[in-house]
Amino acid sequence: MYKLKKGFMILLLATSTMLLGGCSIGTSSLFIHPAEQGYEYEVTYDTLGGNINQVDKRVVYYAGNSLLFEPNGTAGMLVQPKFGEKSLVGWYTKYTTEESKDGTIYHYNEEDLWDFSLDRVSDENTSDKKITLYARWADNPSINFLDAANPEGDILLKWTINVGNELKRPTSTEPKKNGFTLIDYYKDPECTEKYVFDKVIEEGDIDYSNGGKAQINIYCKFIEGEIIRVKTVNQLKAIADKPDGQYILANDIDLSTETWTPIETFSGVLDGNGYSIKNLNLNVKNRASGITAKNADEVSYGLFSKLDGAKIKDLTIKDVNIVIDKSSNVKLCVGALAGRTKKTTIENCTFDGITISSDGMCSINIVASSYVAGDYSTKINNCIFNNINTNKLTTSGNLEVIEQK
């Protein structure tokens, strides 16, 4: 919000009391028009049915080439206008109307939107040094969460939101359906396009097809049975408590604040649901003392340590940084998803931005993979690999880098 220097505008109310009050600017005249004092541009704020400072219009005088004051707040000469439960979208220099069975419809062009941070009043955008800014209002919609399999049924969850605010994904309170697990949210009942949360609700997002009511319908896809939904880092870690369970990601998960400890051998199902696990950081060290190091077992590192009879699908693992400690003295197997795997299926997954390095010259045998080091019983189907880097991984022992399939 830009603040105008004192003296750049004069507010004039169409009442004799305030006109007389205007002579307090140090003049002996009963009233001197603001134009005679250098404030020659007359700007009218027209609320089009609302009110601003308890009137429907407000007139302000500005000096040439001034930024205009944007009404805001609850006190002062130009407060935030109100119009029932509607939200103010912006101020426009023009509008047109259309009559319909539901009343008058106002139309605006974005080219006529006044930008209070850039636009300045001048002869180019005024007529006879006068201009009117018209308020554009929008009905605040109800947010209806519906069962995609029965969109005409009862509303599962209902919210209200002001236009101009961000719509957040449900967290503590979510739509529920007995005997089913929520999979995701969609823009259409056919569930072809996921609904995108964390974006500002605009007037164009609102649906008025239901008798003119302002609403946004979000369709919930469910699957029969009980599947554990994973929404947070802690819930991802909790897979370790039930490594043979069925899990589905409910959103992207960012591990950037974690130094990850691999989940031990996983034998369940993890459905990525089209979401990603990103910024996985692994500091890998396998060190045994004394003579035990010679016969110590290989250790596996990744999101999981090992996969045994697991199924991983529709998951993106992005921006992984695996660093092997040069002091390790026992062989290692590392991968973004897991180290060793067997009898596992990995399908429709993407591995993007996988970096495996060491902090110096190692002396052990290392197996490194952008995904997993699977045996012949592991099936990799329709997976994508991008930006894989093992250039800074060095060892005097045997180094086996498993290429993507």
- Indicate the pTM of the whole model: 0.77
Positive or negative: CA dihedral 7, 13, 15, 17? negative
- The single residue listed with the structure tokens 């390790």 is 328
Domains along the sequence of the chain with CATH: 9-138 (2.60.40.4270), 142-224 (2.60.40), 228-402 (no CATH)
Q: How far apart are CA 274 and CA 243, in angstroms?
A: 21
- Determine the Cα angle at 40 with ends 37 and 44, to 5°: 125
Q: What is the pLDDT of residue 116?
A: 98
Reported as half-sphere exposure (CB side, CA atoms, 13 A), residue 354 has a value of 27
pLDDT tens, position by position, for the chain (405 residues)? 333 333 455 555 433 223 222 333 334 445 688 888 889 999 999 999 999 999 999 999 999 999 999 999 999 989 999 999 999 999 999 999 999 877 788 999 999 999 999 999 999 999 999 999 999 999 999 999 999 999 999 999 999 999 999 999 998 899 999 999 999 999 999 999 999 999 999 988 999 888 889 999 999 999 999 999 999 999 999 999 999 999 999 999 999 999 999 999 999 999 999 999 999 999 998 888 766 667 788 899 999 999 999 999 999 999 999 999 999 999 999 999 999 999 999 999 999 999 999 999 999 999 999 999 988 899 999 999 999 999 999 999 999 998 776
Q: How far apart are CA 355 and CA 389, in angstroms?
A: 5
Output the six-digit token pair for 253.
């998960």
Q: What is the pLDDT of residue 35?
A: 82
Positive or negative: CA dihedral 166, 171, 173, 177? positive
Contact 183, 272 (CB under 8 A): no
Q: How far apart are CA 155 and CA 147, in angstroms?
A: 8
Q: How far apart are CA 381 and CA 405, in angstroms?
A: 9
Output the six-digit token pair for 166.
């961000």
Q: 45: closest CA among 18, 68, 17, 16?
A: 68
Q: 217: closest CA among 142, 139, 138, 140?
A: 142
Contact 49, 138 (CB under 8 A): no
Question: For residue 336, which amino acid is it?
Answer: A
**How would you label 233-264 residue by residue, b for 16+ Cβ within 10 Å and e otherwise?**
beebeebeeebebebbbbbebebeeeebebbe
Strands (E), 26-102: 41-46, 57-62, 87-92, 96-100
Q: 256: closest CA among 242, 276, 271?
A: 276
Question: For residue 240, which amino acid is it?
Answer: A
Q: 47: closest CA among 29, 71, 68?
A: 71
Q: How far apart are CA 292 and CA 338, in angstroms?
A: 25
Q: What is the pLDDT of residue 6?
A: 36
Q: How far apart are CA 30 and CA 373, in angstroms?
A: 91
